[in-house]
Amino acid sequence: MSRRESEFNADDKHPIQATSADIILRQQLEYSISRYFYQGCDRIIQNLLSHCRWYMTTDASALTLVIECPDQVSNWKILQKIVPMASILYGIVRSAKIRVCPPDPNAVPFEMRVDELSVYRDWA
Protein backbone atom coordinates (compact mmCIF):
# COMPACT_ATOMS: atom_id res chain seq x y z
CA MET A 1 0.00 0.00 0.00
CA SER A 2 1.56 3.30 -1.02
CA ARG A 3 0.88 6.61 0.60
CA ARG A 4 0.36 9.73 -1.34
CA GLU A 5 2.48 12.78 -0.51
CA SER A 6 -0.55 14.68 0.83
CA GLU A 7 -1.11 12.02 3.53
CA PHE A 8 2.13 12.92 5.32
CA ASN A 9 2.16 15.55 8.03
CA ALA A 10 3.91 18.73 6.85
CA ASP A 11 6.17 18.60 9.95
CA ASP A 12 7.54 15.23 8.79
CA LYS A 13 8.94 16.61 5.54
CA HIS A 14 12.52 17.79 5.21
CA PRO A 15 12.90 21.57 4.98
CA ILE A 16 13.65 22.77 1.47
CA GLN A 17 16.14 25.41 2.60
CA ALA A 18 18.24 25.58 5.76
CA THR A 19 17.10 28.15 8.27
CA SER A 20 19.52 30.49 10.02
CA ALA A 21 19.08 28.35 13.15
CA ASP A 22 20.16 25.27 11.13
CA ILE A 23 23.23 27.10 9.89
CA ILE A 24 24.20 28.29 13.38
CA LEU A 25 23.74 24.81 14.86
CA ARG A 26 25.85 23.27 12.07
CA GLN A 27 28.63 25.83 12.69
CA GLN A 28 28.54 25.13 16.43
CA LEU A 29 28.76 21.39 15.78
CA GLU A 30 31.72 21.83 13.43
CA TYR A 31 33.47 24.09 15.96
CA SER A 32 32.92 21.65 18.84
CA ILE A 33 34.15 18.66 16.86
CA SER A 34 37.18 20.70 15.72
CA ARG A 35 38.00 21.50 19.33
CA TYR A 36 37.64 17.88 20.51
CA PHE A 37 39.74 16.70 17.59
CA TYR A 38 42.54 19.23 18.20
CA GLN A 39 42.61 18.49 21.95
CA GLY A 40 42.92 14.78 21.16
CA CYS A 41 45.99 15.34 18.97
CA ASP A 42 49.51 15.10 20.32
CA ARG A 43 51.86 18.10 20.17
CA ILE A 44 53.43 16.96 16.91
CA ILE A 45 50.11 16.85 15.08
CA GLN A 46 48.98 20.10 16.69
CA ASN A 47 52.19 21.75 15.46
CA LEU A 48 51.68 20.38 11.93
CA LEU A 49 48.09 21.64 11.89
CA SER A 50 49.22 25.08 13.05
CA HIS A 51 51.18 25.42 9.79
CA CYS A 52 48.14 24.57 7.67
CA ARG A 53 44.63 25.89 7.19
CA TRP A 54 42.29 23.26 8.57
CA TYR A 55 38.60 23.09 9.40
CA MET A 56 35.64 20.75 9.74
CA THR A 57 32.79 20.89 7.30
CA THR A 58 29.57 18.95 6.98
CA ASP A 59 27.65 17.98 3.91
CA ALA A 60 24.99 15.42 3.11
CA SER A 61 27.38 12.47 3.20
CA ALA A 62 29.74 13.00 6.16
CA LEU A 63 31.71 15.34 8.36
CA THR A 64 35.01 16.17 6.66
CA LEU A 65 38.27 17.38 8.17
CA VAL A 66 39.84 19.51 5.44
CA ILE A 67 43.55 20.27 5.70
CA GLU A 68 45.01 22.75 3.20
CA CYS A 69 48.79 22.50 3.12
CA PRO A 70 50.85 25.60 2.27
CA ASP A 71 53.82 23.66 0.84
CA GLN A 72 54.98 20.18 -0.18
CA VAL A 73 56.87 19.58 3.06
CA SER A 74 53.78 20.26 5.18
CA ASN A 75 51.70 18.13 2.83
CA TRP A 76 54.09 15.19 3.20
CA LYS A 77 54.26 15.51 7.00
CA ILE A 78 50.46 15.68 7.27
CA LEU A 79 50.10 12.58 5.09
CA GLN A 80 52.57 10.75 7.34
CA LYS A 81 50.27 11.50 10.32
CA ILE A 82 46.96 10.79 8.62
CA VAL A 83 46.41 7.43 10.35
CA PRO A 84 46.78 8.82 13.88
CA MET A 85 44.55 11.77 12.91
CA ALA A 86 41.95 9.39 11.47
CA SER A 87 42.01 7.33 14.68
CA ILE A 88 41.33 10.43 16.76
CA LEU A 89 38.54 11.58 14.46
CA TYR A 90 37.03 8.08 14.37
CA GLY A 91 36.77 8.22 18.16
CA ILE A 92 34.58 11.31 17.80
CA VAL A 93 32.62 10.68 14.58
CA ARG A 94 32.49 7.25 12.95
CA SER A 95 31.37 8.45 9.51
CA ALA A 96 33.93 11.21 8.95
CA LYS A 97 36.44 11.79 6.17
CA ILE A 98 39.81 13.51 5.99
CA ARG A 99 40.78 15.49 2.89
CA VAL A 100 44.39 16.67 2.54
CA CYS A 101 44.75 19.38 -0.09
CA PRO A 102 48.24 19.83 -1.54
CA PRO A 103 49.60 23.32 -2.26
CA ASP A 104 49.20 22.92 -6.03
CA PRO A 105 45.59 23.89 -6.81
CA ASN A 106 45.65 21.58 -9.86
CA ALA A 107 46.67 18.53 -7.80
CA VAL A 108 44.08 16.06 -6.59
CA PRO A 109 43.49 16.08 -2.81
CA PHE A 110 44.05 12.85 -0.89
CA GLU A 111 40.87 11.70 0.83
CA MET A 112 40.12 8.83 3.19
CA ARG A 113 37.15 7.74 5.24
CA VAL A 114 37.93 7.10 8.89
CA ASP A 115 35.84 3.93 8.88
CA GLU A 116 38.38 2.50 6.41
CA LEU A 117 41.18 2.88 8.94
CA SER A 118 42.16 -0.80 8.80
CA VAL A 119 43.26 -0.36 5.16
CA TYR A 120 45.80 2.28 6.24
CA ARG A 121 47.15 0.63 9.42
CA ASP A 122 50.41 -0.30 7.70
CA TRP A 123 51.08 3.42 7.15
CA ALA A 124 51.35 4.09 10.89
C-alpha distances in Å from residue 113, one per residue of 62, 73, 85, 104, 120: 9, 23, 11, 22, 10
C-alpha distances in Å from residue 87, one per residue of 20, 71, 116: 33, 24, 10
Coil, strand or helix at 52: coil
**Region of poorest pLDDT, from 14-18, 70-74, 79-83, 101-105:** 14-18
Q: What is the pTM of this model?
A: 0.80
CA distance 98 to 112: 5
Give the pLDDT confidence score for residue 62 in this predicted structure: 84
Give the pLDDT confidence score for residue 58 in this predicted structure: 86
**Region of poorest pLDDT, from 4-8, 44-48, 83-87:** 4-8
Position 81 pLDDT exceeds 90? yes
